[in-house]
Amino acid sequence: MAGTTATGAIVSARKCGLMPHTTVQPGICRICSAHCGVLATVTDGRLTKVAGDPDNPMFRGYTCVKGRALPEIHNNPLRLLRSQKRQPDGSYAGIGSQRAMDEIAAKLQDLIAAHGPRSVAMYLGTNGLPYPASALMGNAFMRGIESPMFFTANTIDQPGKQIALAAHGHWLGGDVDFHEADSWMLVGTNPLVSKAIGIPGQNPSQGLRAAIERGMKLIVIDPRRSQTAARAAIHLQPRPGEDVTILAGMINIIIGEQWHDIAFLDENVDGFQDLARAVSAFTPDYVAERADIPRDQLLYAAELFATYGTRRGMVNAGTGANFSMHGNLLEYLCLCLTTLCGRWQRAGERVTRPNTLMPAFTAKAQPHPPYEGWGYGEQLRVRGLTDTVAGMPTAALADEILLEGDGQVRALLCIGGNPMAAWPDQRKTHRALESLDLLVTLDTEMSLTARMADYVIAPMMQMETPAMTMGSELIKYYTSGTGIPAAYAQYVPRVVDPPQGSDLIEEWQFFLGLAKRMELELWFVNFFGGGGGKFMESAPIVLQMNGDTDLSTEELFEQMCATSRIPMDEVRKHQHGRIFDVDAVVAERDADCTARLDIGNPYMLAELAGVRAEDFAAARDDSTYRLRLIPRRHQNFMNSSGTALAALNRGKPYNPVYMHPDTVIELGLESGCTVRVTSNHDSVPAVLESDATLRRDVVAMHHAFGGMPSEDSDFREHGTNVGRLVPTDVDYDPITGLPRQGNIAVNIARLDRISPT
C-alpha cells in the first residue's frame, strides 16, 4: 500500500509539471537499412532526443542527421494521429482504423468479384523496407487474394543488380570484407551520404577513413566530385552515362595485361573468350575520348584495381549510374570485373556476412549457376514487360491503371511510398491515381499521394514499435556490397507509446486485418523479391496465418526468428546489440560441383555491342539540350521524406538545380535565381545554385521533391519534381521498364514568371 501511495504522489507531481519523467533506452533507427543502434530519450511519454549509442559494438556512438531528427519526425505537428477518409466534397474526415478496414475489405471484395484479383495492385516504397513484417505481410496479402500485381521501388531504382546476378550467377563464398580490402571501386554512388552500397553503412565516414589510413586505394567514377569521390585515390569524372564504356575499357586493359586471375577463371567461370572479344573494341583511346577522361588516369585505375596489394576488393555501382540507362549491363560488368580478378572470399576465409537472426548456412567456395531472371510470370499489357527477379516493372504501373480493358488495375494499396513524388512522369501518375476506383495509402501525414487517396491509414512510427535487425541482414540478398559485415544483431522493445488519444495501427496488422475480414489464409514467407526470389543461402521461413490470428508484433518476430542462427532470447539479453562469436569460414568446394559463373552472357554482350555502335559524338553535340541532368543524394533526407521539417531542411525545403559556377556565368545567370529546366518531355521551375564539384556540362538535382503539377508557383516551399521530366514509354529498359532518370538532356533558362500548368 505504501508503494502504491508513493507512486500515486509521483504521478500527481508529474501531472502538475513538477517532476518530468525521463528515460533513456537503446533503440534502432530504421530510417535506412543500416539500422543504427541509438539511444532514445523519452520525457513524459514524448520522444525528445535520439543520439548515437556509445555502447553499441557495431555503431559505437554513430548516427546521422536524419536519425537525430527522429524526435521532430515523431512529433511533427502535421502527423496523422487518426486514419482519414475522403469525403464526397474532396475533404477528409477522421475514421477509426477498424471501420476503415471494414470498408476497404468490402470494396476490395467487390472489385475482385467484378474484375478479378489482377484489378488490385500494391506498391511498396523504400520507407516500408526497414519494417520487414510490414513489407512481408503486404506481400502475403497479395498472394492471399491471388493477385500478381505486387510492385516495389526496386524497379525504378536499381533493378539491374538482380538481373545481373541472374545472368552471372552467385559466388557462394560471399563478398570480400571492405575493412580488409586493398582496393575498391565505386561507380555512380556516394555511400558517405546514401549509406547504402560499397562502404558499409555502419559509420561509413569512419570506415573509409580507417581503410585509407591502412593503405586501401579507393577508385570512384562519378561526374560529380562527391563527398566519397573527394577521398578517392583516383576520381574519374566522366560524361554522364559512360560508366559501361569505362568498365568495358578497364576489363579490356586487364585482359590485355593479363592481370586477371587465370586459375580462378579456369575452375569457376565460363565466357571468358566471349567477354574478351566483346570488350576488345573499347580501347583506352576510344574510352578516353568518349567518356572525356584522361587516358593515363584510366590505365592507372585499371592497374591499381587489378594489381595493388595482397588483399582483394570489389566493384559496386549505385543509383546515379543505374539511372543513366544500361543498368543491367552496368551491374553485369561490375560482377564480371569482380570475377575476372577473382575478388570473392575463398575457402578457409571468414564469412563476411554470416546470418544472425536469419537461419545459419554453409558458405562454400563455389558458384551457384545463372538462372532465369526475366521473361516469366505475369505478362503486363504494355511494352512487352513481364515479371523479373527484380520484381514487377513499376514504371508501367500507371499505364496498367490507365489502360482500359480486361486486366485493368482499379485499386492500389501503397505502403511506405509516395508515387506522386517518386514515380517517373508525374503528370501520367496523377492521371492514373485520379482514375482509380480505390486508392489506399498508409502514411504518417497527408503526402501528395495521400491527398488523392480514398483512405489514408495512419500507422505507428518506428519508435512506437519493437525493432530488430533482420531487415539489415535481408538486404544482402539484394546485391553484393550491402548488409552488416559481422554476426551482429539487436532487438529493442517499443521505446515510446503512441500519442495519447490517437488511433494508430501497425502496417502489418492492417493487412492481417483485411485478411480476417476477407476470410483469407496467408502464407507469410520470410523473404520476397530481389535475387533471393530465385536464390537464397538457406530456405525462407514460411508461416501460415489464418485471418483470425490475434498476434502481436513481438510474437510475430518470435516466429520469424524461430530458426535463427542466434536464438531471439539470446539476442534480447544484449540491449545495446552484440557482435556474436560466430566461427563461420568459407568451406571447400563440393567434390561434385560443376556449376560455373558466366561472364559471357549473350544478352548482356549484345547490349554492350549496341553501346559500342552508338554515335556518341552526335548525341553530345545536341545544341537544343546541351546539359545533362544527373541525380544526387541529400545528406539530410532519406529519399526526400521529411523535407518540410525545419530540423532537416534548415530553411531550404526545395531542391536546387546545381550547376558549375563557370556554366552559371556563361549562361548569364546567378546563383539563387529562378530557372526553368526543360527536357524533351516536360519542364519544371527550380532554384539555381552554384556547385564547383560538377562537370561544366552537368547539372544535378535531388529526386522525390515537389508538389502537384498545378502547384509550380509554390516550388520554393516544396521543391521541384524531377520525375516530371521523365517519360516512361520512350527511353526505357526492355527487361525492367526502368526509364532514363539520369543523364537527361536538358536546357536551362532564366524564368521570370511561372504560369499555372
**Helix, strand, coil proportions of the chain in percent (round to 5)?**
35, 20, 45
Which of 220-234, 329-343, 383-397, 518-532 has the weakest average pLDDT?
518-532
Query: Rounded to an integer, what distance in angstroms lies between the CA atom of residue 517 and that of residue 504?
Result: 19
More confident residue, 129 or 462: 462
Does 443 have pLDDT greater than 50?
yes
pLDDT tens for each residue of 50-107? 999 999 999 999 999 889 999 999 999 999 999 999 999 999 999 999 999 999 999 9
pLDDT at 540: 62
- pLDDT grade, residue 623 (50/70/90)? confident
pLDDT at site 537: 62
Cβ within 8 Å of residue 159, ≥6 positions away? 322, 327, 328, 388, 390, 391, 733, 735, 736, 738
Dump pLDDT digits (tens) for 125-170: 988 766 778 888 999 999 999 999 999 999 999 999 999 999 999 9
Pure H helices in 387-438: 397-402, 419-422, 426-435
Are the C-beta atoms of residues 45 and 496 closer than 8 Å to each other?
Answer: yes
Q: What is the pLDDT of residues 248-304, one digit of tens each?
A: 999 999 999 999 999 999 999 999 999 999 999 999 999 999 999 999 999 999 999
Q: Are the C-beta atoms of residues 497 and 45 closer than 8 Å to each other?
A: yes
The x, y and z cell numbers of residue 699, run together, are: 547539372
Q: What is the mean pLDDT of residues 465-482?
A: 87
Distance CA 40, CA 68 (A): 9
Q: Are 188 and 327 in contact (CB under 8 A)?
A: no
User: Which residues on neighbouring strands pair with residue 47, listed in sequence order?
Assistant: 42
Give the whole-angstrom CA distance, residue 694 versus residue 658. Answer: 8
Q: What pLDDT is recorded for position 535? A: 62
Look at residue 311 in the predicted model and tell me its pLDDT: 73
Residue 4 has pLDDT above 90, yes or no: no
| CA 340 – CA 266 distance, rounded (Å) | 11
| Integer Cα distance of 755 and 753 in angstroms | 6
Specify the pLDDT at position 669. 97
Q: How confident is the model at residue 339 (pLDDT cuts 50, 70, 90)?
A: very high
Q: Identify the sign of the CA torsion 559, 561, 563, 566.
A: negative
pLDDT, position 41 = 97
Interval 679-723: pLDDT, tens:
999 999 999 999 999 999 999 999 989 999 999 889 999 999 999
- Which domains are present in the chain? 22-77+462-584 (2.20.25.90), 84-151+404-454 (3.40.50.740), 176-343 (3.40.228.10), 621-750 (2.40.40.20)
Statement: residue 755 has pLDDT above 70: no
- For residue 109, what pLDDT band results from cuts at 50, 70 and 90? very high
Averaged confidence pLDDT in the chain: 91
pLDDT tops 70 at residue 177: yes
Of 1 and 33, the one with more pLDDT? 33
Residue 434 CB partners (closer than 8 Å, separation 6+): 452
Q: What is the pLDDT of residues 594-612, one digit of tens each?
A: 999 999 999 999 999 999 9
Which residue blocks in 650-728 are alpha helix, DSSP H?
A: 661-666, 715-718
* Cα 52 to Cα 56: distance, rounded to the nearest angstrom: 8
The counts of H helices and E strands in the chain are 27, 32
> What is the reported pTM?
0.94
Q: Reduce the secondary structure of 485-547 to three states and give it as a string.
A: CCCEECEECCCCCCCCCCECECHHHHHHHHHHHCCCEEEEECCCCCHHHCCCCCCCCEEEEEC
Q: How far is CA 46 from the centre of its chain?
A: 30
Distances (CA, A) of 555 to 107, 353, 466, 552, 560: 30, 26, 11, 5, 9
What pLDDT score does 20 carry? 83
292-337 per-position pLDDT tens digit: 999 999 999 999 999 998 778 999 999 889 998 899 999 999 999 9
